[in-house]
């Protein structure tokens, strides 16, 4: 069915601000009925915010929307549902303890429940779009793919004009993706509009009619699939322009010489690490990697491909379903966070607020959170010594704050990151460092400082695993680059500019 | 910098601190209105209240003794709360403390100990019993993920009934039944076990519990503000993952925090027994556990706040009893005021947060 | 022996009845995510105002109405504090219990003066023809006051509501995954409000039973922890209404045994029997007695977007 001429949904100059964070700015997009519109971007790019605006979870702070011919300003998801917009969320909004039919009846029926009737309707809708779904199954016991199909039916029962799917392929094993895309195509062909939000471009290429790319809140590309160049799209989504910084970094890159007192053997060894999340989806798949002392290995990949799970495992905060990892030869798979730190495992996580720091405490307290004993005499904390030491470290690592006693939450993102890095880099011993998205949100000078420190650490003999989606940075800093896709290592390339295209392709799933 | 020149955030923070006081004041005003509504003479009632609260050496001494027990429970509460744990089992921890102190105090080998050990050993016993009781809830939280509110509450009831059990059976702590009229209570502890008086003034019942309480209050303040342990409790309460990442033994800290809260409660029970009551009977804790909890909550983590709140409630209780005896106003009024205060403060938290957090 | 068994069954039912009524109501609240520690306070308030209403008007049915009204008002305030003001549910609950104890004792002294054991007009026992003549437990089961019959019917209604109506579905969703419920268009706050009001309503029945149907008077602190027992029953019953009712019967039996066993010459300490419900609830909450899963969002306030 050819897409109609008038757009079903039209966004003009849409913007959303959360406090001091500008999540979206100047977004303009048209979506037509009968078409599948793909919205690309990595986490933090603003895709979820955009969907939430369309769906009525938030209200825009700038610009306006038009839907189905009239102005569109929903006050709540309920209002959006009523007018014909339905959304399949990335994190399913199902109640695990209830059955499929109960979940779908939620908010849909009044009075006495007629499970049989409703169940029959569910079966019918599923069939008409080419799949099967058991209404009496308890949601908590369904596979991820089945749960997703239940979510989709939930939406389709409302007979929506626009169906939005947020990262639908992220939780699916490769084998089930085809079925999902098939459903999307059929939905569009039935006269509705479909918006597919994802970062896995390669997978949805077959089914999309148009592609739009979001990066740091702005729309940076908007074209029809037929005209699109895959490489350019990936670059638009993930890369930055090459800058003098990168050139400088690349120039000063010495060949990593093995320091004289380097420990024998590997700094970090991951052997078959596998992680299943609580829904049974595979987040990390047989991850195997060896890092030598003094080596910087880059792990490229768009966020959401298993990086956070890997970081949690290597920090000792998450037990892998299978596999082992070793730091300096010691098996730390089941040892716990304290043991990992004691064995010399440092971690700069991507979400420092969740794992690395206690935002309510002061800068000094955070910087020495794992070394408090050093400043304790008779059980009392020697604040003077603590603050002095913190000040010294702050100067060394260029952490800018009014004083070491201010609340950690008062620091800018860049300084917080530098503080966490300072803490991890001053671990003694430090054998392996895992740094995940270390430069996210940092300005140029901060980025430079971070990489200088990481380089210095590697020259001291620390093995570094640098996890990042900033390809240009990885190429400049790492010795070699491996690519993580869907939790699996899908290839390794030398860290050179000429390999950029190949690495980018691997990151988006091509050749996987 | 004059008060007027205070920046808006500072002014709001001050207002935030004032909210509990406003709640207390409001509740007391309601109390006065109730007295008037019940037809009793308000000035008479107020005079009786003042008299009973601080009108004589006896009154003051009794009030302070009450405040001591309340403070201890409150101090234990804020220590555990620092790790984001809510201990609702104060009443039960007092109970087990009392049981242990009575059992040890009635045992001749202990009652005959020299050098004041006859006093100290039962106190320690009560403290350990309370620590054990609180620790159970801690272990349940770490091993089974049980919400400590539910577990400490249930444990509290079990402990209260344990007291009942102990005084019902002569095999346990019940005094020998010489006649059918023998009350279900324990024997009285020997003089050697009783807490020595603080002032030597026979008018005032004030005992050394006050000294113990003040020492522990100082210790609590030091632990919370200056010690590494206190910092670790705070870390675990604010962000358990980050604390564990920094090498802190999360589970152990939680168990210890609840055990300490329990220990304070147990000590309070022992002091109540050895300081005033001298023998064990059902319900000897008479609500001090819940009152201490209220004091802890209202103090918002400040040791001085606990002491102030405990004094307030101590005087309130003494005054309430006197109001009943002398002015005919039911002591239940005190409960009404207390209930109103708790609800008012709890309900106003959102207001305080808005003022202090600037969300 | 047969006589004793009949007495035992009658006692059990008598003691379990207020528990069953209160627990069923509280169950609805907790399934919706709200924990009402103030259940004790609600029951006590209801018992008092029910007795007051009955005594003042001479009509026990009016008394029952007063009891329910009083309890519902208390529950409404609890709902406002827990749901709208997002206050700490546990603290509010304890506060209400203290307030209820103080207020009912105070008003009792003022109105009835001292330790009067004045009898208030109570509800008569209605016999179900034919069935109440059954030997053995006929009287116990089928000769009860109207509150019992109505109450039991209400409990069945609650079961039907939770499992077979859209409101019940909403309640269950709101207690487990309020975010998902919100996305499905369910008004989370309003649902929780209604659930708490249902608790108040049932607690009203429970309190009325104690003062009007069972004992025909009011005494200070009459409920004496029955509210906490009901809470323990909900926990031990795994938040399932059938098992909760069974738990109430079990707890009622344990309490009844304290009089029965001595009469039979068996010497189990009363205290142990009284402790048993709480010990069982503790075991349940530790996950020792089967895999118990409380509603995932129990005691957690809800705010959209957080």
Can you list the domains of chain A with their CATH numbers? 9-238 (3.40.50.300), 245-355+428-507 (3.40.50.300)
Alpha-carbon distance A306 to A203, whole Å? 17
CA gyration radius, chain B: 21
Considering only the beta carbons, identify the residue of B231, B232, B241 that sits closest to A354.
Answer: B241
Residue with tokens 């599923």: A126
pLDDT at B215 over 50: yes
pLDDT tens sequence across B289-338? 988 887 887 787 889 989 988 998 888 888 888 888 887 777 788 788 87
Handedness of CA A196, A197, A198, A202 (dihedral sign): positive
CA A181 to chain centre: 22
Alpha-carbon distance A187 to A209, whole Å? 13
| Residue of chain A with shortest Cα separation from B224 | A380
Run of H or E residues at A212: strand A210-215
A316 touches chain B (CB under 8 A): yes
Handedness of CA C250, C252, C253, C257 (dihedral sign): positive
Alpha-carbon distance B336 to C108, whole Å? 13
Q: Which two structure tokens, joined as six digits, stand for A345? A: 């495992």
- Higher pLDDT residue, C39 or A415? C39
Q: Note the residue count of chain B.
A: 359
Give, rounded to a whole angstrom, the gap between the first and last alpha carbons of chain B.
Answer: 26
pTM of the model as a whole: 0.78
Alpha-carbon distance C206 to C230, whole Å? 10
CA trace torsion B51, B53, B57, B63 (10° rounding): 160
| Proportion of chain B above pLDDT 90, given as a percent | 29
pLDDT tens sequence across B243-287? 888 878 888 999 999 999 999 999 999 999 988 888 888 888 888
Closest Cα to residue B66, out of B24, B94, B28, B38? Answer: B94
| Proportion of chain B above pLDDT 70, given as a percent | 94
The predicted structure's pLDDT at residue C228:
86
| Proportion of chain A above pLDDT 70, given as a percent | 89
Q: Which ranges of chain C does DSSP label H, i.e. alpha helix? A: 2-31, 39-57, 60-79, 89-112, 138-142, 146-164, 166-176, 178-183, 188-208, 226-236, 241-263, 270-285
Ramachandran region of residue C181, left (φ > 0), alpha (ψ -120 to 50) or beta? alpha
Work out the burial of residue B274: count CB atoms within 10 Å of its CB; fewer than 13 is exposed, 13-18 middle, 19 or more buried.
buried
Alpha-carbon distance A402 to A410, whole Å? 9
Question: In Å, how far is C27's CA from the nearest CA of chain A?
Answer: 17
Considering only the beta carbons, identify the residue of A347, A356, A360 that sits closest to B238.
Answer: A360
Considering only the beta carbons, identify the residue of C88, C109, C275 that sits closest to B161.
Answer: C275
Alpha-carbon distance A216 to A232, whole Å? 17
Q: Which of A227-241, A315-329, C193-207 has the highest mean pLDDT?
A: C193-207
Contact C269 B333 (CB under 8 A): no
The predicted structure's pLDDT at residue C249:
92
pLDDT tens sequence across A450-508? 888 888 888 888 899 999 877 778 888 888 999 988 888 888 888 887 787 788 778 77
Query: If contacts are CB pairs under 8 Å, which of residues 96-115 in chain C contact chain B?
Result: 96-103, 105-106, 109-110
Contact B161 C269 (CB under 8 A): no
Contact B335 C99 (CB under 8 A): yes
Closest Cα to residue B147, out of C279, C89, C285, C86? Answer: C285
Handedness of CA C58, C61, C67, C73 (dihedral sign): negative
Handedness of CA B349, B354, B355, B358 (dihedral sign): positive
- What is the interface size between B and C, counted as CB pairs within 8 Å? 135
Contact B198, B208 (CB under 8 A): yes
User: What are the CA-CA distances from residue B68 to residues A26, B208, B272 (Å)?
Assistant: 64, 10, 9
Question: In Å, how far is C114's CA from the nearest CA of chain B?
Answer: 10
Contacts of A among chains (3+ CB pairs under 8 A): B, C
Considering only the beta carbons, identify the residue of B227, B246, B248 that sits closest to A379.
Answer: B227
pLDDT at A242 over 50: no
- Higher pLDDT residue, B19 or A124? A124
pLDDT tens sequence across A131-175? 888 899 998 888 777 888 898 998 888 889 999 998 887 767 666
pLDDT at A253 over 50: no
The predicted structure's pLDDT at residue C232:
85
The predicted structure's pLDDT at residue C37:
86
DSSP B220: H
Alpha-carbon distance B325 to B218, whole Å? 36
Q: Which residue ranges in chain C fall short of pLDDT 50?
A: 306
Q: Which residues contact C91 (CB under 8 A, 6 or more apart)?
A: B297, B342, B346
| Residue of chain A with shortest Cα separation from B235 | A358
Contact B168 C106 (CB under 8 A): no
> Residue A355: its chain B contacts at CB < 8 A?
241-242, 245
Q: Which two structure tokens, joined as six digits, stand for A256? A: 């990593």
Residue B278 CB neighbour total at 10 angstroms: 19
Q: Which ranges of B107-188 does DSSP label H, i.e. alpha helix? A: 108-111, 117-144, 148-168
pLDDT at A103 over 70: yes
3-class DSSP assignment, residue A296: strand
Contact B338 C96 (CB under 8 A): no
Strand partners, A377: A380
pLDDT tens sequence across B44-61? 888 888 888 878 888 888
DSSP A304: T
Alpha-carbon distance C170 to C162, whole Å? 9
| Residue of chain C with shortest Cα separation from B172 | C269
C1 touches chain B (CB under 8 A): no
Q: Which two structure tokens, joined as six digits, stand for A348? A: 């700069």
The predicted structure's pLDDT at residue A418:
84
Contacts of C among chains (3+ CB pairs under 8 A): A, B
Q: Read out DSSP for C266-305?
A: ----HHHHHHHHHHHHHHHHTT-SS-----TTTT----TT
Cα maximum dimension of chain A: 78
The predicted structure's pLDDT at residue A4:
56
- Higher pLDDT residue, A122 or C224? A122
Contacts of B among chains (3+ CB pairs under 8 A): A, C
3-class DSSP assignment, residue A99: strand
The predicted structure's pLDDT at residue A173:
67
Give, rounded to a whole angstrom, the gap between the first and last alpha carbons of chain A.
Answer: 32
Phi, psi of A360 (to 5 degrees): -75, -15
∠ CA B16-C189-A119, rounded to 5°: 155
Mean pLDDT of the region A408-437: 84
B15 touches chain C (CB under 8 A): no
pLDDT at B39 over 70: yes
Q: Which residues contact B160 (CB under 8 A, 6 or more apart)?
A: B91, B92, B95, B283, B285
> Residue A95: its chain C contacts at CB < 8 A?
172-173, 176-177, 180-181
Contact A329, A265 (CB under 8 A): yes
Considering only the beta carbons, identify the residue of A337, A361, A379 that sits closest to B228.
Answer: A379
Run of H or E residues at A166: strand A162-166
Alpha-carbon distance A120 to B152, whole Å? 48
């Amino acid at each position: 069915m050819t897409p109609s001429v008038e757009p079903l949904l039209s966004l003009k100059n849409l913007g959303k601000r959360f406090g001091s964070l500008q999540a979206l700015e100047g977004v303009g997009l048209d979506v037509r009925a009968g078409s599948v519109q793909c919205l690309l971007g990595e986490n933090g790019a603003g895709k979820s915010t955009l969907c939430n605006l369309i769906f009525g979870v938030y209200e825009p702070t700038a610009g306006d929307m038009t839907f189905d011919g009239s102005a569109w300003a929903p006050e709540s998801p309920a209002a959006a549902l009523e007018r014909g917009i339905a959304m399949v969320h990335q994190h399913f909004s199902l109640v695990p303890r209830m059955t499929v039919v109960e979940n779908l009846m939620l908010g849909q029926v009044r009075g006495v429940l007629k499970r049989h009737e409703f169940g029959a309707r569910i079966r019918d809708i599923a069939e008409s779009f080419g799949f099967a779904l058991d209404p009496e199954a308890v949601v908590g016991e369904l596979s991820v793919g089945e749960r997703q199909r239940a979510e989709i039916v939930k939406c389709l029962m409302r007979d929506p004009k626009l169906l939005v799917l947020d990262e639908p392929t992220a939780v699916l094993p490769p084998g089930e993706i085809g079925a999902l895309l098939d459903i999307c195509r059929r939905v569009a062909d039935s006269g509705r509009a479909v918006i597919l939000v994802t970062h896995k471009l390669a997978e949805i290429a077959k089914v999309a009619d148009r592609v739009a790319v979001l990066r740091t809140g702005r729309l940076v590309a908007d074209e029809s699939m037929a005209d699109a160049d895959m490489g350019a799209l990936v670059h638009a989504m993930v890369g930055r322009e090459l800058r003098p910084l990168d050139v400088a970094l690349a120039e000063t890159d010495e060949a990593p010489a093995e320091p004289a007192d380097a420990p024998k053997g590997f700094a970090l060894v991951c052997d078959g690490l596998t992680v299943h999340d609580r829904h049974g989806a595979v987040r990390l798949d047989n991850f195997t990697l060896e890092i030598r002392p003094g080596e910087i290995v880059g792990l490229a990949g768009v966020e959401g491909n298993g990086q956070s799970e890997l970081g949690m495992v290597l920090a000792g905060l998450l037990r892998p379903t299978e596999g082992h990892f070793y730091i300096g030869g010691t098996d730390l798979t089941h040892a716990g966070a304290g043991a990992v730190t004691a064995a010399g495992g440092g971690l700069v996580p991507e979400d420092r607020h969740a794992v690395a720091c206690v935002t309510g405490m002061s800068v000094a307290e955070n910087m020495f959170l794992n070394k408090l004993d050093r400043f304790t005499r008779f059980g009392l904390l020697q604040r003077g010594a603590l603050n002095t030491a913190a000040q010294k470290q702050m100067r060394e690592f260029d952490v800018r704050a009014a004083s070491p006693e201010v609340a950690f939450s008062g620091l800018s993102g860049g300084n917080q990151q530098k503080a966490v890095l300072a803490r991890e880099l001053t671990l003694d011993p430090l054998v392996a460092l895992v740094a995940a998205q270390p430069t996210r949100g940092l300005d140029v000078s901060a980025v430079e400082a971070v990489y200088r420190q990481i380089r210095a650490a590697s020259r001291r003999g620390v093995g570094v695993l640098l996890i990042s989606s900033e390809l240009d940075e990885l190429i400049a800093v790492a010795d070699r680059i491996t690519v993580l896709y869907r939790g699996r290592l899908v290839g390794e390339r030398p860290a050179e500019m000429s390999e950029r295209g190949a690495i980018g392709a691997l990151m988006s799933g091509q050749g996987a | 910098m004059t008060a007027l020149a205070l920046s808006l955030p500072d002014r709001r923070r001050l207002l935030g601190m004032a909210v509990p006081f406003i709640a207390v004041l409001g509740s007391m005003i309601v109390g006065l209105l109730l007295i008037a509504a019940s037809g009793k003479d308000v000035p008479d009632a107020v005079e009786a209240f003042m008299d009973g609260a601080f009108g004589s050496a006896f009154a003051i001494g009794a009030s302070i003794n009450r405040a001591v027990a309340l403070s201890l429970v409150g101090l234990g509460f804020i220590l555990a709360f620092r790790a984001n744990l809510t201990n609702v089992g104060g009443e039960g921890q007092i109970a087990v403390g009392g049981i242990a102190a009575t059992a040890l105090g009635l045992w001749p080998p202990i009652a005959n100990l020299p050098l004041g050990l006859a006093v100290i050993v039962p106190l320690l016993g009560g403290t350990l019993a309370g620590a054990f009781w609180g620790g159970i809830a801690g272990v349940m939280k770490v091993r089974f993920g049980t919400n400590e509110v539910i577990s400490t509450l249930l444990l509290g009831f079990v402990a209260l009934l344990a007291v009942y059990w102990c005084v019902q059976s002569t095999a346990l702590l019940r005094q020998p039944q010489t006649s059918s009229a023998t009350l279900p209570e324990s024997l009285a502890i020997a003089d050697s076990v009783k807490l020595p008086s603080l002032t030597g003034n026979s008018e005032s019942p004030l005992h050394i519990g006050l000294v113990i309480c003040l020492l522990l209050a100082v210790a609590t303040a030091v632990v919370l503000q200056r010690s590494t342990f206190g910092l670790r409790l705070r870390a675990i309460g604010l962000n358990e993952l980050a604390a564990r990442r920094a090498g802190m033994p999360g589970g152990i800290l939680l168990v210890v925090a609840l055990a300490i809260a329990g220990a304070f409660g147990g000590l309070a029970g022992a002091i109540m027994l050895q300081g005033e009551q001298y023998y064990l009977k059902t319900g000897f804790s008479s609500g001090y556990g819940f009152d201490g909890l209220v004091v802890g909550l209202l103090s918002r983590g400040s040791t001085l706040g606990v002491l102030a709140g405990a004094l307030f409630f101590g005087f309130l209780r003494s005054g309430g009893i006197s109001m009943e005896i002398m002015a005919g106003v039911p002591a239940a009024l005190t409960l009404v005021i207390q209930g109103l205060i708790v609800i008012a403060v709890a309900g106003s938290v959102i207001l305080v947060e808005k003022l202090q957090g600037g969300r | 022996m047969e006589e004793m068994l009949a007495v035992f069954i009658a006692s059990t039912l008598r003691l379990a009845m207020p528990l069953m009524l209160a627990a069923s109501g509280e169950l609805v609240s907790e399934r919706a995510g709200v924990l009402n520690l103030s259940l004790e306070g609600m029951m006590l308030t209801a018992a008092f105002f029910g007795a007051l209403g009955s005594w003042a008007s001479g009509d026990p049915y009016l008394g029952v109405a007063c009891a329910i009204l009083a309890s519902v008002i208390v529950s409404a305030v609890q709902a406002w504090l827990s749901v709208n003001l997002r206050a700490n549910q546990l603290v509010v609950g304890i506060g209400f219990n203290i307030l209820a104890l103080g207020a009912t004792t105070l008003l009792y002294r003022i109105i009835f003066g001292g330790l009067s054991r004045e009898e208030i007009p109570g509800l008569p026992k209605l016999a179900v023809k034919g069935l109440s003549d059954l030997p053995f437990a006929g009287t116990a089961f089928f000769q009860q006051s109207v509150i019992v019959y109505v109450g039991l019917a209400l409990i069945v209604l609650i079961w039907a509501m939770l499992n077979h109506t859209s409101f019940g579905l909403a309640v269950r969703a709101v207690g487990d995954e309020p975010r998902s419920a919100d996305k499905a268009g369910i008004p989370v706050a309003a649902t929780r409000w209604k659930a708490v009001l249902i608790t108040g309503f049932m607690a009203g029945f429970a309190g009325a039973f104690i003062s009007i149907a069972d004992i025909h008077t009011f005494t200070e602190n009459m409920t004496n922890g029955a509210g906490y027992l009901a809470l323990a029953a909900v926990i031990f019953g795994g938040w399932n209404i059938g098992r909760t009712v069974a738990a109430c019967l079990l707890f009622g039996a344990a309490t009844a045994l304290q009089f029965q066993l001595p009469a039979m010459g068996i010497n189990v300490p009363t205290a142990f029997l009284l402790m048993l419900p709480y010990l069982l609830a503790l075991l349940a909450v530790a996950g020792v007695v089967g895999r118990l899963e409380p509603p995932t969002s129990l005691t957690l306030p809800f705010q959209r977007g957080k």
